[in-house]
Amino acid sequence: MSALLGVPPQRLYRAAKEEGLAKVPGRRLRLPAGTAARWLRRWGSVPEAVRSTGLTREEAFVLAALSRSPLGLRSARSVARRASVTPTTAVKALASLERRGLVEERVERIVEGRVTETAVWRLNWRSPEWRRIAKATGSVVLPQPHAHPRLQRSVPSRFAHLFWNEDTSHLDVERDGVTIAERILSSTDAEAIAWAARTIPAPCLRRVNSLRNISPEVAALADALAASR
């Protein structure tokens, strides 16, 4: 278990003791069914193939988080949230990974009602080292946050350009979910579509295909996203 999770045995013993699972010090732990899976969600897992490259556990989490964010992440704090590490740890990990050529910070133009230039952290897909460890990094299990984030009710300002005839501050994800989904899924904005897939309730997505003048492609996309929720 310690090798699977990549945490010291003492840490596992402390967790078992806190949960009343370790009755006798030094005795081999017998874990109830489901405990291993719960600890895996709590701490995540970094395979030996990744650790053997010299990456720390936290660096592996940050690298995995960026590899699963093809559009990049706009701040170290965003990286920290996605990787389930502290902001300070994310800053240190990003600096180390950047020195190794695995990640890069680039200034990109972002449309948020108006065009702005924003620094975005991205995986360096061209890195030879990344190509060597890409497959193993795919096996990294990111820790899950302790609390589920609150449902986002409003449309982010960076998607305001898709609602040229609407005031996005008056749109509500639950109340206006069908309208929001139809507008976003009919666009070619990949980031907006990814946001809709995570945020808009499945019933709203399913109702998109009942709208008049909706294209078969948009209807099929709405159904697929609803089915994946």
pLDDT digits (tens, 9 = 90+) for 60-108: 999 999 998 888 898 899 999 999 999 999 999 999 999 999 999 988 7
- In the chain, % of residues over pLDDT 90: 31
CB atoms within 10 A of CB 203: 12
CB atoms within 10 A of CB 163: 17
**Is the pLDDT at 125 greater than 60, yes or no?**
yes
Tokens at residue 213, please? 């003048």
For the chain, list the domains and their CATH numbers.
Answer: 1-43 (no CATH), 44-145 (1.10.10.10), 157-227 (no CATH)
Q: Which helix (H) or strand (E) element contains residue 49?
A: helix 48-51
Tokens at residue 158, please? 């960076």
Q: Which of 129, 130, 122 is nearest to 70 (CA)?
A: 122
